[in-house]
Amino acid sequence: MHITLRIWRQTNPAGPGRLVTYELSDVTEDMSLLEVLDLLNLQLARNGEEPIAFDSDCREGICGSCGLQINGRPHGPLKGVASCQIHMRTFKENDTITIEPFRAKAFPVVKDLVIDRTAFDRIIQAGGFISVNTGGAPDANAIPIPKNTVDAAFEAAACISCGACVAACKNASAMLFVAAKVAHLGRLPQGEVERKERCLSMVAQMDAEKFGACSNTYACEAECPKEISVDNIAFLNRELLRAKVF
């Protein structure tokens, strides 16, 4: 199949960027979008041109590093998948596909499609862990936890920190990301000891990173590749109020 790619090229964080058009004719419908970028980079390298810089690791929708803005949507047109899980059968012959980096002030462009997501790392460092020494790992059934609580915590833990929620939000809010991390540990007894400090620290760091405010448009939930619910944002708001008052 023949496709046209319009790809954001930017040599460095301070330099100007622009969309550059490329044509590919040897694309198969079973290729993933990242494999198409690999194919294009091979073609560029053979022609002595600079390959396109983009992030990827697992290519299985697990790591979250592949986040791309595809035709104006974080991770592309399909629901519940990451950019690496988009295959060319999603598109049609002679389609034009526009690929850009996620757009957010807190995610500055490093080069081409690569963005700096270390703001998320600093939020995690601020409190997204359990530091209590519990010794060896206990049996899974040693601490009775209601199934609905476990299910809710597991859903929140599915967050892959890709940043699609930020890219989808008109305010570039990181509330769904922070809420998922706070809800994951805050719902479980293992996270109870640091529950208050965790919430306050992570929200404070989120604000320090200059992410925007949540305006409840639900765009984050719609574009999340793990379909994490905005119910977690409600949980975060309750946790924040509780931490400040009690």
Q: What mean pLDDT do residues 128-144 have?
A: 76
* Residue 18: per-residue pLDDT: 97
Q: Which range has the worst mean pLDDT, 44-58, 100-114, 137-151, 223-237?
A: 137-151
| CATH 3.20.20.30, domain 118-245, yes or no | no
pLDDT category at 128 given cuts 50, 70, 90 is confident
Average pLDDT, the chain: 95
* Residue 204: per-residue pLDDT: 97
3-state secondary structure 163-186: CHHHHHCCCCECHHHHHHHHHHHH
Q: What mean pLDDT do residues 138-167 have?
A: 92
* Segment 169-190, tens digit of pLDDT: 999 999 999 999 999 999 998 8
**Where in the chain do CATH 3.10.20.30 domains reside?**
3-110
**Where in the chain do CATH 1.10.1060.10 domains reside?**
118-245
DSSP state of 90: G
- How far apart are the two ends of the chain, measured CA to CA in Å? 61
* Residue 246: per-residue pLDDT: 80
Quick check: 135 pLDDT over 80?
Answer: no
Q: At which residue do the structure tokens 């986040």 appear?
A: 67
Q: What mean pLDDT do residues 135-147 have?
A: 81
Up-side HSE of residue 207: CA atoms within 13 Å toward CB? 6
- Cα 172 from Cα 105, distance rounded (Å): 8
* Residue 171: per-residue pLDDT: 97
Quick check: 199 pLDDT over 80?
Answer: yes
Q: What percent of the chain has pLDDT over 90?
A: 90
The set of long-range contacts for 89-94, using a CB threshold of 8 Å and a minimum separation of 24, is 89/29, 89/30, 91/3, 93/1, 93/2, 93/3, 94/1, 94/2, 94/3, 94/4
For 121-154, the DSSP string reads HHHHHHH-S------SPPPTTSS---HHHHHHHH
- Cα 89 from Cα 185, distance rounded (Å): 39
* 3-110: CATH number: 3.10.20.30
- Token digits for 124? 């995690």
